[in-house]
Homo-oligomer: A and B are copies of this chain.
Amino acid sequence: MKDLVGSAPACDADAFRHEAQAFIDWAANYLTQSETLPVLAAVQPGAVRAQLPTAAPLYSESLEQLIADLDRIIVPALTHWQSPNFYAYFPANHSVPSIMGELVSAVLGVQGMLWVTSPACTELETHLLDWLVDLCGLPARFKSTGTGGGVLQDSASSAVLCALLAARERASDGQANESGCTQQLVAYGSSHAHSSLDKAVMIAGLGRRNLRKIPVDHALAMDASALARQIDLDRAAGLTPAFVCATLGTTSTLAFDPLPAIGDLCRRAGLWLHVDAALAGSAAVCPEYQALLAGLEAADSYCFNPHKWLLTNFDCSCLFVADRRSLTDALSITPEYLRNAATDTGSVTDYRDWQIPLGRRFRALKLWFVIRRYGVAGLQAHIREHVALTQRFAALVDADPRFEIVAPVALNLVCFRYRGDNQRNQQLLEALNSSGALYLSHTLLGTQYVLRFCVGQPRTTSAHIMSAWATIARLASGLERAGSPAR
């Protein structure tokens, strides 16, 4: 091929070395400078496209041209998620070992849809997820050595959808896959459950009106007695309660739903219990935070995302199920062209039957690299450091009478607001984010506009926290002096 593709690189070791060397230099430079870049991209819609040619190049362009455009067009229009000054949403952090895992996965380029299409891809994944059960103090029923097992999904959204599909099949005695979702199955989550639950309920054909948003208590956690009443009401109305999504660490405030009470209910009522701990689950690598998962033994499925807070590149979302058959019953199809001896014996795991897509990358590599290069102690230190930094930030907020903390501070999130109206808080957020010095996001609690400060980057230090707070305090003062603009 080499002679046919002009100056495009051959797919051999020499070309690889040459290109990789150039991109390592580029990446090292990015890692060094990214801290100084505005965190939130300050570009207008269409600004990137305006710099791109209207058609694909006819002939190969040089490595130098490509890298120049990466710096000129792409980097200025990025929001720098790996900046130590990124405090928005939940983090999606990475680490050097994880990047190396992605690199090796790309070089190998294997497909893990079936065991036989790369046994190591499947077995390493199953094994690592068993490691995580022990490491995080999860119930043994999630282990592959019993009836359960774990699988890597791209996201907690896909995980909750897979869990819901398994619940749908169980609640319909396998009729939903066969005849469609004709029964009125009902799903439950708190009013603070993640929007991926709404999306899953829509996709799976249950219908949004069959999703109950259960009220939350003063701590913004699900009111379990309201859940019990709603289940009874729905049953009395002839509907079929089928699925509860409990959240350990909600997106708005890191509130923890009362899992023991919810689990009791689900067990007695025969509902599938899915537990979404997308962010908070990573904290369970520390024994002192495993109590946050109390009650998890009642769950049918559990999800947390190492790609959020455990130094592993997106995508890496762990889904555990207590009964793997329930998942594969819902998702399995075997056309002839995928049949093979190993699958036919039933002695292997084919992960395509545990997920929505057929194809799958070798995602377990990056998780393996992270766990081995950090070690349990290193992962624990990482979590503890962020919790300590968060406490430090909370203390700074607390000490300034102009601000108030508006939800319990759990793990690595502080929800706070300026003591003023919503408009003033929104102005403050916009001023902060457009300063480029840091990036925060917001939520609504009741009618209150609230700022969220989430610590999650491996390079964030005490100095960054102090600097972030100084910026917040300074811009708040600036807004005070400017006064509230006319509406």
Which residue of A94, A117, A168, A208 has the most chain B CB atoms within 10 A of its CB atom? A117
Known: A207-B180, A208-B177, A376-B57. Is A314-B361 also a contact (CB below 8 A)? yes
Are the CB atoms of A369 and B66 closer together than 8 Å?
Answer: yes
Which of chain B's residues have a CB closer than 8 A to the CB of A66?
Answer: 369, 372-373
Query: Chain B nearest CB: distance from A151 CB in Å?
Result: 15
Extra inter-chain contacts (17) besides given A1-B382, A20-B103, A177-B208, CB under 8 Å: A5-B377, A9-B96, A11-B458, A27-B104, A45-B115, A56-B131, A56-B132, A56-B372, A60-B375, A66-B372, A78-B119, A79-B110, A79-B116, A154-B154, A155-B359, A337-B442, A356-B356
A236 within 8 A of B: no
Are the CB atoms of A204 and B206 closer together than 8 Å?
Answer: no
A121 within 8 A of B: yes
* C-alpha spacing A240/B109, complex, angstroms: 42
Are the CB atoms of A32 and B11 closer together than 8 Å?
Answer: no
Q: Contact flags (1/0) for A202-218 with B, using CB distance below 8 Å?
A: 11111111100000000
Which of chain B's residues have a CB closer than 8 A to the CB of A314?
Answer: 109, 111, 359, 361
Known: A155-B358, A375-B59. Is A209-B348 also a contact (CB below 8 A)? no
Known: A81-B111, A94-B109, A209-B178. Is A252-B337 also a contact (CB below 8 A)? yes
A205 touches which of B48, B135, B180 (Cβ 8 Å): B180
Q: A159 — nearest CB in chain B belongs to which residue?
A: B357
Q: How many residues of A contact B (CB 8 A)?
A: 168
> Can you report 25 residue pairs joining A to B where beta carbons are below 8 Å apart?
A4-B385, A5-B382, A8-B374, A8-B375, A9-B95, A9-B96, A10-B96, A26-B104, A55-B134, A56-B375, A59-B376, A61-B372, A61-B375, A75-B120, A77-B123, A78-B118, A78-B121, A79-B118, A82-B109, A93-B109, A94-B109, A176-B207, A181-B182, A194-B335, A195-B333
Are the CB atoms of A196 and B155 closer together than 8 Å?
Answer: no
Q: A31 — nearest CB in chain B belongs to which residue?
A: B13
A328 within 8 A of B: no
Closest 6 pairs between A and B when the two form their complex, measured CB to CB: A205-B205, A180-B207, A181-B205, A48-B123, A77-B120, A4-B381
Are the CB atoms of B180 and A358 closer together than 8 Å?
Answer: no
Are the CB atoms of A119 and B378 closer together than 8 Å?
Answer: no
Query: Chain B nearest CB: distance from A138 CB in Å?
Result: 13
A70 within 8 A of B: yes
Known: A11-B94, A314-B361, A337-B442. Is A56-B135 also a contact (CB below 8 A)? yes
Residues 300-347 (chain A) with a chain B CB within 8 angstroms: 307, 313-315, 330-331, 333-338, 341-342, 345, 347
Are the CB atoms of A459 and B359 closer together than 8 Å?
Answer: no
* C-alpha spacing A111/B41, complex, angstroms: 13
Q: A355 — nearest CB in chain B belongs to which residue?
A: B157
A203 touches which of B59, B204, B341, B342 (Cβ 8 Å): B204
A358 touches which of B57, B181, B195 (Cβ 8 Å): B195
* C-alpha spacing A378/B61, complex, angstroms: 11
Q: A117 — nearest CB in chain B belongs to which residue?
A: B79
A371 within 8 A of B: yes
* C-alpha spacing A45/B381, complex, angstroms: 36
Q: A206 — nearest CB in chain B belongs to which residue?
A: B180
Which of chain B's residues have a CB closer than 8 A to the CB of A158?
Answer: 356-357
A452 within 8 A of B: yes
Query: Chain B nearest CB: distance from A341 CB in Å?
Result: 8
A27 touches which of B16, B45, B82, B359 (Cβ 8 Å): B16
Q: A373 — nearest CB in chain B belongs to which residue?
A: B8
A463 within 8 A of B: no
A233 within 8 A of B: no
Q: A336 — nearest CB in chain B belongs to which residue?
A: B444
A485 within 8 A of B: no
* C-alpha spacing A43/B120, complex, angstroms: 9
Q: A98 — nearest CB in chain B belongs to which residue?
A: B106
* C-alpha spacing A110/B331, complex, angstroms: 30
